[in-house]
């Protein structure tokens, strides 16, 4: 693959860049695929960026629990990153754990997620800063995928709920933040308790934009997004009946969404 064959994924052109939120996208063609990376964060790009063994010899590596993906935290002075190797779930995960059908670089999952995160981060949305993504071709019809993002300090809402009561004002903030994404036409494919991160200052951040994208703002998919989050809460209550959540909390979230 030559450099001229590198494709950019379609982004969200309606989002304006905020001062100080620049991500300088650069592209590298490799023998078995391609990578996109932030030139402001990576000076020596290559396959080693996605190799856990390389990082174990050059950084402090910690596992990140939760989710079906293989996720590692990579810590060095001035660097705190999360490396995620894409893994399938459901019945397809039984057939092929981490292979995806090749339909073109711009349509590959890490390529689309990296560019979406890039647009959102530049526009000031509370998302992790994208660092790099790789598409690794396997034979003719398949590829594997990796994505590196900057770690956001905080805890998933699912973890907080198992430990304490979440103030209703925070549920309100969550609703406001979701509405902000929806108003900009940002569809989150897996809006659940694990992908809502609460930072120490109570800022609400959304994670994991795999299979997400930009859509014309419509009530149909926006309400479906909220229903998905509601199902996530109900499932968590089944697993933990003493979960600190009430109907009033959900009403507060909807109030924030309506007024946001």
Which residues are annotated as catalytic?
190
Segments in 78-195 forming alpha helices (H): 90-95, 109-122, 157-163, 168-183
For residues 59 and 75, the answer to whether their CB atoms sit within 8 Å is yes
CB count, 10 Å around CB of 203? 14
Residues near 6 by beta carbon (within 8 Å), at least 6 away in sequence: 27, 29, 34, 36, 105
């Amino acid at each position: 693959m030559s450099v001229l064959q590198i494709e950019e994924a379609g982004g969200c052109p309606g989002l304006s860049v905020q001062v100080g939120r620049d991500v300088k996208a650069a592209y590298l063609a490799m023998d078995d695929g391609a990578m996109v990376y932030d030139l402001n964060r990576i000076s020596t790009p290559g396959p080693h960026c996605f190799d856990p063994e390389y990082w174990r010899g050059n950084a402090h590596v910690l596992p990140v629990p939760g989710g079906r993906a293989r996720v590692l935290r990579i810590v060095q002075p001035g660097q705190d990153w999360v490396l995620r190797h894409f893994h399938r779930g459901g019945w397809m995960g039984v057939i092929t754990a981490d292979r995806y059908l090749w339909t073109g670089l711009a349509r590959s999952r890490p390529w689309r997620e990296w560019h979406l995160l890039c647009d959102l981060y530049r526009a000031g949305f509370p998302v992790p800063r994208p660092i790099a993504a790789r598409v690794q071709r396997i034979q003719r019809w398949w590829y594997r995928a990796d994505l590196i993002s900057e770690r956001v300090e905080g805890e998933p809402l699912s973890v907080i709920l198992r430990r304490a009561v979440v103030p209703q004002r925070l549920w309100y903030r969550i609703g406001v933040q979701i509405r902000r994404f929806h108003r900009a036409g940002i569809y989150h494919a897996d809006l659940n308790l694990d992908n809502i991160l609460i930072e120490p200052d109570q800022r609400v951040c959304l994670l994991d934009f795999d299979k997400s994208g930009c859509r014309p703002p419509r009530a149909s998919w926006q309400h479906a997004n909220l229903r998905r989050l509601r199902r996530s809460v109900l499932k968590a209550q089944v697993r933990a009946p003493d979960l600190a959540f009430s109907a009033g909390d959900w009403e507060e979230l909807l109030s924030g969404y309506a007024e946001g």
